[in-house]
Structure 1
Amino acid sequence: MVVSFGVLAQSEKKSVRQGNREFKKGEFIDSEISYRLAIETNPESFKANFNLGDALYKQEKWEEASTQFEEIANASVSEADKASVYHNLGNSHFKMQQFDKSVEAYKQALRLNPNDMETKYNLAQAQRMLQQQQNNDDQQDKQKDDNQNGENDQPQNNQDKDKNKDEQQDNDQQEQQQQQQNQEQISQEDAQRMLQALQSREKDIQEKLKEEQVRQAKVKVEKNW
């Protein structure tokens, strides 16, 4: 049994080392495979599980990476190692624009390792992006409310007939009023369509700006072994 355990341990370490070499060369798919082989040998291997999360992150599989880091967040390891897990978890949420979760992950990392400057930097970035995200959401909600109020407040053109004029004058006046109402209705509909088109365009621009901000606001490197 001792020999068998030793063989398994050597196999696990060999796969992790192989994965690390592939990771350093930028061969992230191959490194993922190697780390998974190590995990098959020893599902409790913290190094293999941690580095698998990194390999997934490098492939931009951020949701899978976040799940991987969450699964090992309660592992029986040092506080420094746990802080690295939360740091990388924060990075994964940041990339998915889940800035609220990113902030919480970075805060947890700093509770475990208060002097980590990279995590402090990333926390500041995530907080800034979260504030911008909330401001954009508030602005969109306000525009939606304004649109609804505008539709409810459309003026009603109720015209009174002049009963003292003859029938022909009444008919002419009614016809003119009807034409005016139609023109106003068309103008209001055109204005509404233009407003909706502008708001749609503004939303597209905001989304592009947000994506550009996320791209430029790069979080600092993920922790690795």
Structure 2
Amino acid sequence: MIKHLLLIILLGLSINSFAQTDRQFVRDGNRLYHKKAYDKAEIMYRKAISKNPSNSQAVYNLGCALMMQSKDSAAVVQYQNAAKIEKNKLRLASVYHNIGVICQNHRMYDEAIKAYEQSLRNNPKDNETRYNLALCKKLRKKQGNKNNQQNKKQNKDNKNNQNGKDKQNEKEKDKEKDKGNNKQQKPQEEQMSKDNAEQLLNAAMQSEKATQQRMKKALQKPSSRRLQKNW
């Protein structure tokens, strides 16, 4: 009897679970979401979507549950899916607002700006979205200036490195040139030394020859002076 009762209870639970609609799963998910049980809420929303893939509320809420778990890329996918099937403009505004928040948190300001603008098209009265849009534009400008400064610094560093390399190359070329000049200069110096030696030798020979000629002439002439004693 107990076994039959247990079986009936289990069957009843299974039938109840099977009979639960996508809206009921969404409500269960919402209760868990408000209790900050985001992982469990995610499960409920996925069950709702499996029941009815066109339930835009389930898809949007799944994106929110994923976002609260820092699963940002997965959350964006669900928000984009919700945007394709959602017809209510206020909900569409919320979808794009949340996409903007995720992009802003990741400093993807261009994407965030587009999302916020799309959100304001659906709900022009949303001041929070308008504020976020203005902030993103300011942050994008600041980011652009920072990137420009970094690019200028990088270009300057590259230029300095190139100038350093050019100077080093010029220095090495000068060394090679000096080395070549020294090599050329050395044979020239050796040639000059050889030429000087020959000139000196010729001069010495000429001088010696002239001296011999003078002595020869002197010996041929009679001396008119007396010889003096040496001291």
* Paired position in structure 1 for 2:88: 78
CA 93–9 in structure 1, closer or farther in 2 if over 3 Å, else same: farther
Deviations 1:197-217 (A, max 9, x none): xxxxxxxxxxxxxxxxxxxxx
Q: Check the 8 A contact 1:66/1:93 in 2, yes or no.
A: no
In 2, Cα distance between the equivalents of 1:76 and 1:49? 10
CA 76–26 in structure 1, closer or farther in 2 if over 3 Å, else same: closer
In 1, Cα distance between the equivalents of 2:144 and 2:20? 50
The equivalences for 1:27-42 within 5 A come to 27-42=37-52
In 2, Cα distance between the equivalents of 1:28 and 1:78? 25
Give the root-mean-square deviation of aligned CA atoms: 2.4
The answer to whether structure 1 residue 91 and structure 2 residue 106 are counterparts is no
Higher helix share: 2
| Of 8-17 and 90-99, the range deviating more from structure 2 | 8-17
Q: What is the identity, as a one-letter code, of the residue corresponding to 2:115?
A: A
In 1, Cα distance between the equivalents of 2:105 and 2:160? 37
1:47: how far off? 0.7
Query: Which structure 1 residue ranges, 4+ long, deviate > 3 Å from structure 2?
Result: 7-10, 156-163
Give the length in aligned residue pairs.
Answer: 159
The answer to whether structure 1 residue 44 and structure 2 residue 19 are counterparts is no
In 2, Cα distance between the equivalents of 1:115 and 1:8? 42
TM-score (ref. length: structure 1): 0.64
In 1, Cα distance between the equivalents of 2:129 and 2:19? 33
In 2, Cα distance between the equivalents of 1:97 and 1:64? 17
* Paired position in structure 2 for 1:113: 123
1:69: how far off? 0.8
TM-score (ref. length: structure 2): 0.63
Question: Percent identity, aligned pairs only?
Answer: 34
In 1, Cα distance between the equivalents of 2:39 and 2:145? 38
In 2, Cα distance between the equivalents of 1:122 and 1:8? 43
Gaps of 5+ in 2: 1-16, 187-231
1:136: how far off? 2.1
Paired residue secondary structure (2:60): helix
Deviations 1:80-110 (A, max 9, x none): 1111111111112112221110010001111
Q: 1:58 aligns with which of 56, 60, 68?
A: 68
In 1, Cα distance between the equivalents of 2:19 and 2:123? 30
Q: What is the identity, as a one-letter code, of the residue corresponding to 1:80?
A: L
Paired residue secondary structure (1:73): helix
Q: What is the identity, as a one-letter code, of the residue corresponding to 2:26?
A: V
In 2, Cα distance between the equivalents of 1:96 and 1:152? 36
In 2, Cα distance between the equivalents of 1:68 and 1:97? 20
Which structure is higher in RCO with an 8 Å CA cutoff and minimum separation 6?
A: 1
